[in-house]
Structure 1
Amino acid sequence: MDVHISVTGGETVAEAESLTDWLRGESELRKVALTGRAPGPGEMGAVLDTVSVALGAGGGLSVLASSLRAWFAQPRRSDVRLKIRRPGGATVELDAKRVRAGELEEILRAALADPDESTPEQA
């Protein structure tokens, strides 16, 4: 599964670069790349504010959640917001000021779950 993480707040490009470097340190994440959006009116080039991550099967989402939790805990991350989306799927926004460590993986799983995958019924 591929996910795209857009960074807002703080120094957006610097935070996106920091997050890219951080996630590249996780060997379980198959591919991490800094990407961006096309330039808007009056802009001279692309804005590199998005981190694209290819998650491997079997625990990739857990690794991403754990790594994001640790990255948020670093100094000067309180103004950062992340918008995490799966192409063709749902989007979740995380605010470093409001995200609780224990909830992060559950939030990501719920938002990024593939609707085509069947989930077991709860008793």
Structure 2
Amino acid sequence: MDVHISVTGGETVAEAESLTDWLRGEPGLRGVALTGRTPGPGEMGGVLDTVSVALGAGGGLSVLASSLRTWFAQPRRSDVRLKIRRPGGVTVELDAKRVRAGELEAILRSALEDAAGADAEQD
């Protein structure tokens, strides 16, 4: 399952780079890449503001949820928002100002496990 995490608020590109570096440091995650969106009308180029993570079987989901919880709780992340897009186009939005660190992992697990379950049913 591929998960795409868009970063908004704060210093978007810097936060996306920070998150990419953070997730690449997790031994349980593979296929972490910084990607971007297509340029809009009047824009010269795309913006690298999305982190793509390929999750395989065997605990990748737990590692991602735990790692995002820890990254999100770092100082100076209060203006950051994450939009996590699952397979099928369903998104979950998280706002550092509104989600307590203790709730974040449970929200992520619920959202991502629903996606993993839907993928398994389609196979």
Question: In structure 2, how many angstroms separate the alpha carbons of the residues matched to 1:59 and 1:116?
Answer: 16
Q: What are the within-5 Å matches in structure 2 for residues 6-85 of structure 1?
A: 6-85=6-85
Q: In structure 2, what residue type is equivalent to 1:18?
A: S
The CA RMSD measured in Å over matched residues stands at 1.5
Return the TM-score normalized by structure 2: 0.87
The answer for the alignment partner of 2:94 in structure 1 is 94
- Percent of aligned pairs with the same amino acid: 88
- Measure how far apart 1:60 and its partner are: 1.1
Aligned residues: 118
The answer for the alignment partner of 1:121 in structure 2 is none
Return the TM-score normalized by structure 1: 0.87
- Name the one with the larger helix percent: 2
- Measure how far apart 1:81 and its partner are: 0.1
3-state secondary structure, aligned to 1:42 = coil
- Name the one with the larger strand percent: 1
- Measure how far apart 1:103 and its partner are: 2.2
Question: In structure 1, how many angstroms separate the alpha carbons of the residues matched to 2:47 and 2:4?
Answer: 14
> Which is worse superposed, 101-110 or 38-47?
101-110
Larger Rg: 1
> Which is worse superposed, 104-113 or 44-53?
104-113
